[in-house]
Chains A and B, each alone.
Chain A
Amino acid sequence: MKTNAETTVGGDKYLNYNCWLVKNLNYAPYRRCQYCRYRFRNCLFLQYQIVSVALAVIILPLFFLVEGKISALAIISVFASITVFGYFFNKSTEKIIKAQFAQEQATQKLKELSDMLEVKVEDQTQDIIAKNARLEKLLQVRSEFLDVASHQLRTPVSMIRGVLSMIRDGDLEHLPRDKQAQFIENAWQKGAKLDIIINDILAASEFDTQTFMVDSHTPAISLEDVVDQVVKGFQLEAERRGIELVWRPPKKRLPRVKGRVNFLEQAISNLISNAFKYTPSTNMVKEARSRRDKKGMVEVTIRQVRQDIVVGVSDNGIGIPKEEIKKLFEKFVRASNATAMYTDGSGLGLFIVREIVEGHHGKVWAESELNKGSTFFISLPIASN
């Protein structure tokens, strides 16, 4: 058998094992069987065999008729012509078979390419769907955020304008002296609050344009370092307010978490800032007298709990009623007992914390006891390599 590439087109896998010639002769005339595997009647080899047999069957008897016997010459010449015929038959069918094979190969390649393309398109589609989902979530976060922000801004603005409108209308003069003073003081306080709200909104909107969601590209960072930096930043204010700020860094390095330093700094900063607001402080003017005797303390802790790193920020302030804890992280709610004290919050702080922590696949929650204090916890999963 010739085995060079040109003649054994396709090789073994093109054998038609249903061909009785292959089966019975145990013979693999490759070049024929590539064609034969389609139809028995299309088997060129068989056709060749039939023609050869026909030749022999017709010509030999002719010889016999002419010469009265079948001479050796007759037999030799018949088989010689069959062989020669076979050779030329071979050559011509080879071309057909090669062409067939080339076409098959082309079809096969086309199918492969088409399958590959399908897979690629499917991948791209999935990618687009995932990106779309993320964009939708971002848009939703942004729209929620705008709702919160616009409401928070409108509240003090409406108060200030309300007071001014009454002054314009000349109503203020008709009020008793002490009420007039309170009026102006309220507007003043709301003005101060407006400034804080605007700063919070700007900070939060900066985050809004970037991504909140942690993904495989997010680096692994050391959470205790982040907390350390933030606590250091609050030391001056703690002194000013007469609050004891306690931070005990862990003795051993804790496992890292996946996250962005600036976001986590903001989240922890918001919690500590809140704790300062609701902790008794010797410098707070509007506080109840009893509160002033208690020294304000804010404690920041960090530890590993199973597969998470948990940061806790505790204060010894007024506490939060249990029913209200869950709602704290929602848009507008401040705990009911918070309004009794002087609070300069924008109402956005915890909302931002929740968005950041959830974007980091973490959890945030609070525990509290009325008049004893509250602790806010952030838990982030340890980065898996």
Chain B
Amino acid sequence: MRIYGNPMDTKLTILLIEDDPDQIFLYQSKFELEGFGMLSARYGSEGLKLAREQKPDIILLDLVLIAENGLDVLASMKKDPLVKNIPVMILTNLERDDAKTKAKELGAVDFLTKANMMPSDVVRRIREILKK
């Protein structure tokens, strides 16, 4: 887990929870180019800890993590008083309706499929959500 930029300044910070290091590399490069601060974690527990400590502006969460289900992580986040108000966007390749419904039920603000949304689309969506 690495922290790019200084989350203390007015730059917006994104926390990405994703198990594939290549994908982290891809999004990290894009987000930093776009002027975001970036945090990343490969495990739900790590991600939760980072969220509590660093208070990112938005969390991007994959559903298929190593031996873990992203929906469980989402549930834990929404139960945690320190974290529950941070918007969570699901960013995954799992195109299942029941996953989408569950995620929305648990309080995810959006559900994006990586295959359909390119990094620039993701950035645009993030900006839309953070404007609200």
Contacts and interface: CB of A to CB of B under 8 A. Distances in A.
Interface string B1-42: 000000000000000000111110111011001000000000
B33 A155 contact: no
A165 B120 contact: yes
B130 to A, nearest CB: 20
Contact of A186 (B22, B64, B67, B95): B22
Given A151-B93, A161-B118, A165-B120, A323 B25 contact: no
A162 B23 CA distance: 9
B67 A157 contact: no
Contacts of B25: 182-183, 186
Given A151-B94, A336-B67, A171 B30 contact: yes
Chain A contact residues: over half helix, strand or loop, or mixed?
helix
B113 interface: yes
A162 B118 CA distance: 5
B66 interface: yes
B66 A162 contact: no
Nearest to A165: B118
A162 B26 contact: yes
Interface string A161-203: 1110110010100110001001100100110000000000000
A339 interface: yes
Give the interface size bracket for A toward B: 20 to 34
Given A147-B96, A151-B93, A157 B115 contact: yes
B114 interface: yes
A158 interface: yes
Contacts of B114: 154-155, 158, 162
Contacts of B94: 147, 151
B107 interface: no
Contact of A162 (B21, B113, B119): B119
A332 B64 contact: yes
A154 B62 CA distance: 13
B33 A171 contact: yes
B65 to A, nearest CB: 9
Given A155-B20, A174-B33, A186-B25, A327 B115 contact: no
12 contacts: A147-B96, A151-B94, A154-B95, A154-B113, A159-B26, A162-B27, A165-B118, A166-B119, A169-B120, A183-B26, A183-B29, A339-B20
Given A147-B96, A323-B67, A339-B20, 11 more contacts: A147-B94, A151-B93, A151-B95, A155-B93, A157-B115, A165-B119, A166-B29, A166-B30, A324-B67, A334-B66, A339-B21
Interface of B: 19-23, 25-27, 29-30, 33, 64, 66-67, 93-96, 113-115, 118-120
